[in-house]
Amino acid sequence: MSQAKVPVWVNVGLIPLFNIMLALLASALVFLAIGENPIEAAGYLLYGAFGYDEGIGYTLYYATNLIFTGLAVSVAFKAGLFNIGGEGQAYIGGLGVGLVCLWFDSSLPLLLIAPLAIIGGALFGAAWAYIPAYLQARRGSHIVITTIMFNFIASSLMVYLMVNWLKQEGLMSPISRTFEESAWLPYLHDLLAPLGIDMGDSPLNLAFILALLCCVFYWALVWHTRWGYQLRTVGTNPTAAQYAGIDNAKVTIWVMLISGALAGLVGVNEIMGVNHSLLLNFTAGYGFAGIAVALMGRNHPVGIILAAMLFGALYQGGGELAFEIPTITPEIVVVIQGLVILFSGALENMFKGKIEAFFLRRAAA
């Protein structure tokens, strides 16, 4: 065991793939049970997610949100903190983005608004994470409980602000005025059109690039800075960290600020990139899905990108599936997502030992 090593591709590629296949197999049984052809359903799912330009665009658009929230959950997890508040932090981050856009859209060009909005979203998201972080670090209130509660407070605050202050007069729905075009993040299909690349009409926008940059930032921060080392030490063994002279409370607060800022960037994609106005419920559960993405991605940026793409594909392909086959309700699509999480998260070790043993034996032979 000590000499023979399992090839890396088995651990990062084969086992996750195997688990996903199992999940799809279990989903196939569900489809058979409701009397639908699983092959046809899988066809729609794959075709919807990857089969045409627009579908790919939507998959990547969903993935953008999930990369942000996945990174947010993951970075806190590195310090041993379970940030369940991505939803609320994304919500308030969106508020920050929206306020910047509403404020400057008629006076500044996009080149200035975009960085301001990104800073606004990150600041608001971080501020929302600060209070639970402070309570955890200085008062010992458990972060899981406080961040969950802050999701509800965020939601109430947004409704109050939207209904009483930011709503456009004379409209039934609580939605702000539409931003001037100078505050719209460009769509990738618009950017790529002059280069002769036809992407179809999808909401995929520049925020996707921002998400990828955040992955690089995450990788550099966690593994290539002194602070990242402190962070990982606190997460692995807080007592040892303290003994080594690391201020655990300070690391806790800072990592939650970064986590909140990352979650807040969902607002850049949703508010500035797609909706072009401030509205309610744009987070749509991405904060919670981010937890699954972080777990599946094994808290590594590359893994998170892949897991986000998988979930993005399930969102988009699932939407396509529910659209094409009316008997398949959106709830069935949630079942498929649940099975994927179950098999690749909770039941991850079911076959891991056997597959690894197989490769170890082969390496020994």
- Asked if 282 interacts with other proteins (CB under 8 A), we say yes
Q: Does 165 bind other proteins (CB under 8 A)?
A: no
Q: Which is nearer to other proteins, 115 or 285 (CB)?
A: 285
Nearest-angstrom CA–CA distance, 148 and 166: 25
Among 58, 179, 208, 311, binds other proteins (CB under 8 A): 58
Binds other proteins by CB under 8 A, chosen from 40, 181, 190, 198: 40
Amino acid at site 143: I
Measured in degrees and rounded to the nearest 5, phi and psi for residue 59 equal -55, -45
Figure out which of the listed residues 129, 185, 222, 274 binds other proteins, where binding follows CB under 8 A. Answer: 274
- 335/26 Cα distance (integer angstroms): 10
The residue range among 133-141, 160-168, 212-220, 240-248 that interacts with other proteins, by the rule CB under 8 A, is 160-168
User: Which two structure tokens, joined as six digits, stand for 53?
Assistant: 């330009």
Q: Tell me the one-letter amino acid at 232.
A: R
First to last CA, the chain: 13
CA nearest neighbour of 336 among 29, 64, 73, 87: 29
Instruction: Determine whether 219 is exposed, middle or buried from the number of CB atoms within 10 Å of its CB (0-12, 13-18, 19+).
Output: middle
Considering the complex, state which of residue 73 and residue 322 has its C-beta at the smaller distance from other proteins.
322
11-36 per-residue burial string, b: 16 or more CB within 10 A, e: under 16: eeeebbebbbebbbeebbebbeeeeb
Question: Interhelix angle for 301-324 vs 286-296, to 10°?
Answer: 130
Q: Which is nearer to other proteins, 6 or 66 (CB)?
A: 66
What minimum distance in Å lies between the beta carbon of 192 and other proteins?
19
Work out which of 56, 60, 62, 94 binds other proteins, going by CB under 8 A.
Answer: 62
Is residue 288 at the binding interface for other proteins, with CB under 8 A as the rule?
A: no
Quote the least distance from Cβ 130 to other proteins, whole Å: 22
208 lies in the binding site for other proteins (CB under 8 A): no
Alpha-carbon distance values, 311 to 259, 303, 304, 324, 339 (Å) = 20, 12, 10, 19, 12
The reply to whether 75 sits near other proteins by the rule CB under 8 A is no
Identity of the residue, 94 or 264, whose beta carbon is nearer to other proteins in the bound complex:
94
Looking at 237-245, 274-282, 295-303, 344-352, which segment touches other proteins (CB under 8 A)?
Answer: 274-282
CB closer to other proteins, 155 vs 242:
155
Footprint of other proteins (CB under 8 A): 40, 43-44, 46-47, 51, 58, 61-62, 155-156, 158-160, 163, 167, 169-175, 178, 201, 203, 270, 274-275, 277, 279, 281-282, 284-285, 319, 322-324, 326, 329-330, 333
